[in-house]
Structure 1
Amino acid sequence: MSILHLAILSPFLIAITIPFIRYLMRNVHIGWYVLATPLILFLYFFQFVSEIRTGKSISHQVEWVPSLDLNFSAYLDGLGLLFALLITGMGALVILYSIFYLDKRKEKLHNFYVYLLLFMGAMLGIVTSDHLMILYVFWELTTLASALLIGFWFHREKSTYGARKSLLITVFGGFSMMAGFLLLYIEAQTFSIQALINQSETLMSSPLFIPAMLLVLLGAFTKSAQFPFHIWLPDAMEAPTPVSAYLHSATMVKAGIYLMARLTPLFGLTESWSWLLLSIGLLTLLWGAISAIRQTDLKAILAYSTISQLGLIVVLLGIGSKTFLVTSMESKEIYAAAILTAIIHLINHATFKGSLFMVVGIIDHETGTRSIKKLGGLMALMPVSCTLSIIGLAAMAGIPPFNGFISKEMFFTNLLSIGEMGIHSGLEFMIPFVGWVASVGTFLYCSIIFFRTFTGDFDASQYDKKVHEAPIGMLISPIILAALVLILGIFPNLWMSSIVEPTVLSILPELNLEQIQTKLSLWHGINLELMMSLAVIILGFFLYRKLPFFQNKYSFFKKEREPLHTLFDRSIEGLDVSSKWITNLQMTGSLRDYMVFMLLFIIGVVGYTFYRFNSVSLQLSEASYVPPYVIGILLILIISTLAIPFMKNRITLIIVLGLVGLSISLIFAIFSAQDLALTQLLVETVTIMLLLLTFRYLPAFKPEFRSKRKKGINLLISISVGLGVFLIGASAFSFGNEVDFDPVSDFYIENAYELGGGTNIVNVILVDFRALDTLLEVLVLGIVGLAIITLVRHRLGRGEDV
């Protein structure tokens, strides 16, 4: 195992130690212990920058289950390194923030940091996995860990609702994604992402390619909160603010973005991929901005703003995937610029959105509310938080000199380039217009956050506590992020060659570094993009001033909750009602009904198999000779079995039942299966003794009335089961017309001595080949015995002998 593997797994290892370390740090916030993990990991991954900036990649592999083609393949290139730095860097800042945000006397911090480290490790696993199924394992682990973090305050109903909602939606997407991965494996016979990319042109011709793409996109869309699967994100805001700042600005919601970027070289060869990303991204971008305007909770506004910004990144990925569909180098460079913009905005969004979430957490922490209906006039009381808000909101709104302005201008350039080239016929003007309208919405909800929170009159009666600025410890992390917002705005080329360009090269491997190298500048002259930005500011400010008018006149602006939330709730309620109906239909409390269900299932499976493969052809000419005394024993066995259902006396019934078992033992002995004969004889003896011992405790025998219909059903099921068993036995000695059933006994005969080290094949099967089954069977029998004794004792009462 390489150091890279250990780095990926280290958060899990540290998480295991937290329940024990907390007892040694009773007087110290355990967050200080956890903080070292992301800091060390950030430095570890940062050392790869110099190597990966040249276009190289790092790969290490550990075999896990070779027979199933499962191996832990760690692959680090520009894209994986960018996300690893975001995960660890933001993780360190969030943990530092949480140390001052969460009170160690009131919160179960050991649980919180265990969940957080589990999530961090799972995210690192996603962005460094080259094996699709290993990626899926980490993917679902992020789903589980995020649900635990969202529901951390489980005593709040909204927290558990948000956790359950995010779990259901993202697990649905995860299952869909796994199905897509399996379809790719069926066609390519590999789970390696890099190997699949190398086979992309061959895979395109497969009928499974488009279904696989759609299923994978379902997983990515649910994770990255794309319309209409975005509804889990606003309810996830019930999580503690450090969770929102980490999961919903830089990590979890970006996992879907990562997957789309990683698989763009594979699926980008089809027009469908580009159109799906572009259309869903535009819809999400616009709807997120509109929905944010309708909210009154600060975190809800940021949640919908995150949805909108994620849609923007998906739009850029959709445009950039066109690089694989054009042939001229000029066109490739134009579309590759969209991928460059997506990566730059991804970094920018992590900085200003992380800072804004932390500032909103500070406001909530110091005032006790996040409602803009109560807030106002905090500028004088919380000047540092106000300044940080101005920086973050200006960056998100696209105002210079902050980093968001650069990526927004580049976004406009990419949209206008599409119109100029006329690739999307008929949409040359619509796509840039939709992007511009969404930008107006972005400016509008940024204005709502700032003016409704920090300006106006301060009303102390609206707050349950004395409002003041946050302590310096809580301000450090948002100050660092705000500083990055300003630095990356003034010096946009700071990380271009070391981080951004290698990332773009990972997504567009057919290009080289020279073709994607770009020099950015804060001022790029007076052009159409700048005019669009000025129009956004002017119209956005005008709409903010007129917003009360629109809210009073149109009910649309007063509805904070989308119809999609109601649809989800009704669907879950309907699913619950349906599941109860099905459960009540099956769980009748009758042992007979349960036996009928199981036997009907067996009859159906066996019947369909023989009907489908026509696998029985009796060849009596090849049947072995059966001595007359064996036939006599079989007749006794058959007559005894048929007599049992008609007996009215229990003693007689037990004796005949023993006769059946004795007959089976004799047949085993005659055909040289001494072990089976002895086992059967022992079991029959013990069973009869137990039945006789418990006989006197049974109530008097009363014939049970059954209708002719029920008797007919019982008879039909019995005959069908008998016929099915006969057909299974007959198939072992015959060959079908289409499919040959090789007897499994050949395998045991050939391998019993070599693999099991024994000449008694039956014993080897039980204690070697089926050792785990045998162990569990013994365990189950023991548990059943204990359960029976417990029930009997409970019924008898104390002091009575069982």
Structure 2
Amino acid sequence: MVILHLAIILPFLFAIAAPILHKLLPRVHVGWLMLPVPAALFAYMLSLIPVIRDKGFQEGTIAWMPSLGVDVHVYADGLALLFALLITGIGSLVLLYSIYYLDKNREKLVRFYVSLMLFMGAMLGLVLSDNLMVLYGFWELTSISSFLLIAFWHEREKSLYGAMKSLVITVFGGLAMFSGFLLLYVMTGTFSIRELIAGVPAIAGHDLFVPAMLLILLGAFTKSAQFPFHIWLPDAMEAPTPVSAYLHSATMVKAGIYLVARMSPIFAGEALWLWLVSGLGLLTLVYGSFRALKQIDLKSMLAFSTISQLGLVMSLFGLGSAAALYTGTPQAEFFSKATMAALFHLLNHAIFKGTLFMVVGIVDHETGTRDIRKLGGLMAVMPITFTIAMIGSFSMAGIPPFNGFLSKEMFFTAVLNIRSMDLYGMDAWGTLFPVIAWVASVFTFIYSMLLVFRTFGGKAQFDKLEKKPHEAPLGLLLSPVVLATLAIVFGLFPNLASYSLIEPAMAAVHPGLLGPGEQFMVSISLWHGFTTELFMTAGVVALGIVLFLLHKRSAVLNQPLFVKATLNKSYDGGLSMMDRVSHAITRVYMTGSIRHYMIYIFAFLILALGLTLFGQNAFSIDTSGFAEMSFYEGAIMLALVLASIAVLFVNSRLMAIILTGAVGYLVSLFFVIFRAPDLALTQLSVETVSVALFLLCFYHLPKLKKELVSLRFKLGNLIIALGVGATMTLVALSASRTKPFESISHYFLENSYKLAGGKNVVNVILVDFRGFDTMLEIVVLGIASFGIYALIKVKLKEDGLESAPGQSRAALPLEAYKSNDVILKTLAKLTIVIILGFSLYMFYMGHNHPGGGFIGALMASAALLLMGMSFGMKKVDRFMPLNFQKLTALGILIALLTGIGSFVFDAPFLSHAFDYFDVPIIGELELATATLFDLGVYLTVIGVAMTIIFTIGRDQ
């Protein structure tokens, strides 16, 4: 379905458009321009409810890299739909809330909403992806975009610290998860989650099954802040409140929960899965709820509360996995009720926690503090906010008639039911589950009461506040009012979500539990009689009220924990130790000498390849198939060797550069003899531009020191050079001796014209068959040129040589290279026109004749360089008044858009098309989309070359 893919793409498109829209409509708050995106997506997701309820799923595929088994396969089942509704629904309310929360005149709103849209698109991509590799890409994008959101107030040290901690921990888990995905692929040969679930019986006993499970769980636990990986979440509260309300109530922290639910059909039959997921979840639940009691900052209290509630949901999914052990029996549905409770509480938690984060944001916004010691008596001046806070807090505490009460009762039912299992020692240890759940619920009740009554009740302390408190404006109240209303509605009418959301999601988590046409029984009611669960709730409320009243007097409840060895100290100490060790190691080899670095690289190359070659007994030479050397080849080889040796004996940098260039030109003659005109043209162009760049660098180098022309210095260079040359020669000879695979050259020769419409096989390979490689190569080139530009710009700034605003780059020292040679200027006028014309010819004809975008661009760069050296850079400025950094970016964008355009025609990424057309006068003309891709290459290479030339030329 194209619309499903569009649902993922739309936030990214608006992230790109946000700066443009802001410039076009500067008086409009950027949030209003972004708000239609989640609102429209939420409406679309709502429209899918009846479709998925009846059919079970909605899917669509866009081919990306089918040969690697990686396609953008969007799969929306009940589980994905539930998360998508949370992402878009809560996202809409958070966006509306942020419009009134963030100051339009003080905050950098464009950056905020760009990051928010990136995060929303990444989350949607994560929950809607069926392919593990695509899921992983979106997973890491959520980490990056959340880092940007948490660090939004980057001038604050705590914001940067919290953002970095969240990035380090979640990316660490993400890499572990990625390894687990690869192990699953090794076992099954597929990245499709649907196919993996179908193939579970074949891999359940595989040696890699448990390692894959543990690595994937590591990713889930770090993302969902499970103990002991929870330490990033409290520090992430330095983000603006809209970010906390979105990321830490409904989206980012739920990604780990989603992964566990999605992987349950694969791993649920493993005992270790049940114990780890449920056990660690319960530990996180009780630890987080206890730590929440001791917080004095309202957002910190909500952070530990979130950790606790995530542990609750995680434990329920672990307990629900027991149903897989009873497939086809009545007990299956009995144990699956834990999954039902997990899904319902997932929804409820997003509602009441989003409400409370927004309430805390309002309190901070209207009073200037979140310190619970300074607050109190706010219900008199903020009655609406108090009412909303009470609804959210009572729901979180599990008090009827709010939605949190229902899912908390279902949680109690699940931990009581699990004791009846006679597997995995649950009959002995299962009693601990309800005990831990009950104790954690008492703590939850206490901090819920603290949050509402210590903030809004008690004695007013308005003199301690930074602002005079007053009720929030309607814009800030609207979003939490909607969520608080939902807390009441789902509490009184819980079955609104039963068969529309919960049952389809259960069917997705337990796909093989029921037979065809069967449904899970999902009946949730506010009153279910005088049960054990109800008495447990009564006990929670009774003891909770007593401990709440004693909270101020009890150091155990209200004083921070003072422990020498904490997880946060271990994290900080570990990073500090790694930093010190890396600095110590780096100081040994980072001498500042490029020659030393080259020696390290080449020495490693010699040892690695040489030892591998001889250690694997792979060195062998067979000269029987070698062709005889012609006179011309021998003459060129002799000249090449002499030029190479001569480099060792010259004491002038200029002569060394000239001889090195001569070696390159002689190599290009070999390409001519071996009938490789594309390579010859490329080599000639590269050598021409390279020699010019060498000369530009040579202009800035200090005088040659005596030790740099000494025999010892040159002997070291000779040993490394001979070692690299001998190693690569041995590798080439050995490779030509054995051919374990059939050559693919025949395929390209036979299909370059048939499949790509090009007769120049080299160019067709570059822009079609291996276009993905070429695209990444021009990206690397662009990054390198931007790096050079940035480094030298910093140096110019430090030296006070940076051009003033409005000053032409031609006014900079590069003008010193202007030639006074009349003959050179006269010849250059004709030569430049010829080279530029030939450059365009090479670009256009490269698909069928020698040439292409890369070669053409190098020729154009050489022509521009000749123009600058002959007439000065003012002439280049007038002839081509371009920003070459932007030209580089434009070229990469054209190449990328050409690849993305193939999706419109339901073809894999970077698929190209061609056809022949009859054009008046000209006749038959071939038009190929590969030419557009090659145009991107052409512009990128010109931008890169000229950026480097201009930048180096500026450096005095």
User: Normalization by structure 1: what TM-score?
Assistant: 0.88
Question: Take 2:370 and 2:761, find their aligned partners in 1: how far apart are those partners?
Answer: 72
Say whether residues 1:334 and 2:327 are aligned partners. Answer: no
Say whether residues 1:261 and 2:340 are aligned partners. Answer: no
The 5 Å alignment of 1:222-301 reads: 222-301=222-301
Name the counterpart of 1:537. Answer: 541
Question: Take 2:161 and 2:314, find their aligned partners in 1: how far apart are those partners?
Answer: 28
Question: Take 2:685 and 2:32, find their aligned partners in 1: how far apart are those partners?
Answer: 64
8 Å contact kept, 1:54–1:502: no
State the SS of the aligned residue for 1:60. strand
Give 1:336 deviation, angstroms: 0.4
8 Å contact kept, 1:56–1:77: yes
The 5 Å alignment of 1:9-408 reads: 9-23=9-23, 25-54=25-54, 56-327=56-327, 329-408=329-408
One of 588, 591, 596 as aligned partner of 1:588: 591
State the SS of the aligned residue for 2:152. coil
Distance verdict in 2 for CA 1:753–1:16, change over 3 Å: closer
Question: Take 1:87 and 1:346, find their aligned partners in 2: how far apart are those partners?
Answer: 12
Segments of 5+ residues of structure 1 without an aligned counterpart are 796-802
Give 1:792 deviation, angstroms: 5.7
Question: Take 2:629 and 2:490, find their aligned partners in 1: how far apart are those partners?
Answer: 90
8 Å contact kept, 2:372–2:455: yes
Residues 306-354 of structure 1: per-residue CA shift (max 9 Å, x gap): 1100100010000111111235623212210100110111111111111
Amino acid across the alignment from 1:503: A
State the SS of the aligned residue for 1:190. coil
Say whether residues 1:488 and 2:479 are aligned partners. Answer: no
Question: Take 2:631 and 2:431, find their aligned partners in 1: how far apart are those partners?
Answer: 93
8 Å contact kept, 2:403–2:487: yes
8 Å contact kept, 1:333–1:515: no
Q: Percent identity?
A: 50
Question: Take 1:465 and 1:542, find their aligned partners in 2: how far apart are those partners?
Answer: 34
State the SS of the aligned residue for 2:481. helix
Residues 650-696 of structure 1: per-residue CA shift (max 9 Å, x gap): 89989987997798688777777789889989999999999999999
Name the counterpart of 1:573. Answer: 576
8 Å contact kept, 1:55–1:78: no
Question: Take 1:146 and 1:494, find their aligned partners in 2: how far apart are those partners?
Answer: 32
8 Å contact kept, 1:399–1:405: yes
Give 1:304 deviation, angstroms: 0.5
State the SS of the aligned residue for 2:524. coil
Give 1:217 deviation, angstroms: 1.5
Name the counterpart of 1:3. Answer: 3
Give 1:766 deviation, angstroms: 8.2
Residues 447-470 of structure 1: per-residue CA shift (max 9 Å, x gap): 221232122211221112211121
Name the counterpart of 2:504. Answer: 502
Question: Take 2:500 and 2:695, find their aligned partners in 1: how far apart are those partners?
Answer: 83
Question: Take 2:652 and 2:710, find their aligned partners in 1: how far apart are those partners?
Answer: 22
Give 1:285 deviation, angstroms: 0.7
Residues 81-113 of structure 1: per-residue CA shift (max 9 Å, x gap): 111222222122222222322232332333322
Question: Take 1:469 and 1:428, find their aligned partners in 2: how far apart are those partners?
Answer: 48
Name the counterpart of 2:442. Answer: 440
One of 454, 457, 462 as aligned partner of 1:455: 457
8 Å contact kept, 2:34–2:113: yes
Name the counterpart of 1:607. Answer: 610
Name the counterpart of 1:548. Answer: 552
State the SS of the aligned residue for 1:266. helix
The 5 Å alignment of 1:747-786 reads: 772=774, 775=854, 778=858
The 5 Å alignment of 1:665-744 reads: 703-704=706-707, 716-735=719-738, 740=740
8 Å contact kept, 2:648–2:718: no
State the SS of the aligned residue for 2:444. helix
Distance verdict in 2 for CA 1:641–1:534, change over 3 Å: same
Give 1:496 deviation, angstroms: 0.8
Moved more, 27-36 or 534-543: 27-36
8 Å contact kept, 1:344–1:407: yes
State the SS of the aligned residue for 1:510. coil
Amino acid across the alignment from 2:593: S
State the SS of the aligned residue for 1:45. helix
Amino acid across the alignment from 2:621: L
State the SS of the aligned residue for 1:325. helix
Residues 246-286 of structure 1: per-residue CA shift (max 9 Å, x gap): 11111111111111111111121222211110121111111
Amino acid across the alignment from 2:731: I
State the SS of the aligned residue for 2:525. coil
Question: Take 1:763 and 1:478, find their aligned partners in 2: how far apart are those partners?
Answer: 59
One of 645, 651, 654 as aligned partner of 2:648: 645
State the SS of the aligned residue for 2:54. coil
Moved more, 278-287 or 635-644: 635-644
Amino acid across the alignment from 1:534: A
State the SS of the aligned residue for 1:519. coil
Say whether residues 1:468 and 2:470 are aligned partners. Answer: yes
Name the counterpart of 1:800. Answer: none
Segments of 5+ residues of structure 2 without an aligned counterpart are 778-852, 859-939
Question: Take 1:694 and 1:487, find their aligned partners in 2: how far apart are those partners?
Answer: 72
Distance verdict in 2 for CA 1:384–1:583, change over 3 Å: same
Residues 505-560 of structure 1: per-residue CA shift (max 9 Å, x gap): 11111234756213222222222222221222222222223333432x79963559
Question: Take 1:589 and 1:387, find their aligned partners in 2: how far apart are those partners?
Answer: 64
Distance verdict in 2 for CA 1:707–1:409, change over 3 Å: farther
Moved more, 752-761 or 167-176: 752-761
Question: Take 1:166 and 1:704, find their aligned partners in 2: how far apart are those partners?
Answer: 50
Moved more, 468-477 or 252-261: 468-477
8 Å contact kept, 2:132–2:181: yes
Distance verdict in 2 for CA 1:622–1:208, change over 3 Å: same
Question: Take 1:506 and 1:677, find their aligned partners in 2: how far apart are those partners?
Answer: 59
Distance verdict in 2 for CA 1:193–1:661, change over 3 Å: closer
Question: Take 2:696 and 2:149, find their aligned partners in 1: how far apart are those partners?
Answer: 56
Amino acid across the alignment from 2:603: L
State the SS of the aligned residue for 1:355. helix
Name the counterpart of 1:563. Answer: 566
Moved more, 54-63 or 757-766: 757-766
State the SS of the aligned residue for 1:72. strand
Question: Take 1:147 and 1:413, find their aligned partners in 2: how far apart are those partners?
Answer: 38
Give 1:410 deviation, angstroms: 1.3
Query: What number of residue pairs does the alignment pair up?
Result: 791
Give 1:167 deviation, angstroms: 1.8
Question: Take 1:187 and 1:405, find their aligned partners in 2: how far apart are those partners?
Answer: 43
Moved more, 44-53 or 12-21: 12-21
Amino acid across the alignment from 2:499: S
Question: Take 1:693 and 1:322, find their aligned partners in 2: how far apart are those partners?
Answer: 71
Amino acid across the alignment from 1:353: K
8 Å contact kept, 1:16–1:114: yes
Question: Take 2:690 and 2:237, find their aligned partners in 1: how far apart are those partners?
Answer: 61
